[in-house]
Amino acid sequence: MTNDKHSQIIPFYGGKYPDLFEIERRCMDRAGKVIQHLDALLPSGLVLDVGAGNGFTAEKLTCDNRKIIPLEPDENMIDLKKNLVWTKGVAQDIPFHTNTFDAVYATWAFFFDGISDLAKGLYEFERVVKQNGSMIIVDNYGHDEFTSYAPNNISSSPDAWIDRGFTYEIIQTEFVFDDVAEAQRLLGFYFGQRGSRIEQTRIEYKVVVYTKIKK
């Protein structure tokens, strides 16, 4: 079968190696600039986090007047200890009615250039958000030290997102590890030998935030 729910999931290491994912989430934007940026962009009301992982951003962006619903397909990622109302599902087939959310966002999840189902996910993003609601996508910008270690291209392409009607902003942040061993462990896992030879704890990292308002 090629179109079952399982084949719609992009494999991710976090459920199998939660200790490595913990390092990633703690260190990749230690200053919390991406969270601050999203907090300022997101409205109050009901917001959907697509590909929410373990609920790291959903938990941080929830506040008295904003409820974030995390949508995540991999049950090994879902952290039931977090005080969140979880939904299991994929970006290509969001299990909510049309015009439900005041905003939708995805951080480093599903909305990557070259994904064959990207159009389906974008259709679903646009469908579930209300008129004048924001659609926000966060990814690697590239042109930085972090992506320079990758053997393949892991940077986003702003031109493709502009063609889809999004505008973008770049956040200049950094990975900050507790020590070199931690940096080598995570970057070695990501990038092989080049990553495991790193001798520093701070690594420049640029993040791109794409935004589109539903008309």
Ligand X SMILES: C[S@@+](CC[C@H](N)C(=O)[O-])C[C@H]1O[C@@H](n2cnc3c(N)ncnc32)[C@H](O)[C@@H]1O
Binding site for ligand X (CB under 6 A): 8-10, 12, 14, 25, 50-53, 56-57, 72-74, 77, 90-92, 107-110
Comparison of 51 and 133: residue with beta carbon closer to ligand X: 51
Query: In terms of Cα–Cα distance, which of 59, 135, 61 is closest to 91?
Result: 135
Q: Would you say 170 and 206 are in contact if contact means Cβ atoms under 8 Å apart?
A: yes
CB-closest chain residue to ligand X: 53
Minimal distance in Å, beta carbon 93 to ligand X? 9
Between CA 37 and CA 66 the distance in angstroms is 15
- Write out the DSSP string of 5-19: TGGGSPP-GGGT-HH
Minimal distance in Å, beta carbon 103 to ligand X? 15
Minimal distance in Å, beta carbon 174 to ligand X? 17
Burial class of residue 193, CB neighbours in 10 A (0-12, 13-18, 19+): exposed
Minimal distance in Å, beta carbon 57 to ligand X? 5
Minimal distance in Å, beta carbon 206 to ligand X? 16
Comparison of 105 and 161: residue with beta carbon closer to ligand X: 105
Q: In degrees rounded to 5, what are phi and psi of residue 200?
A: -135, 165
Q: Print burial letters for 29-58: b (CB count within 10 Å at least 16), e (below 16).
A: beeeebeebbeeebeeebbbbbbbbbbbbb
Comparison of 18 and 197: residue with beta carbon closer to ligand X: 18
Comparison of 120 and 130: residue with beta carbon closer to ligand X: 120
Comparison of 31 and 180: residue with beta carbon closer to ligand X: 31
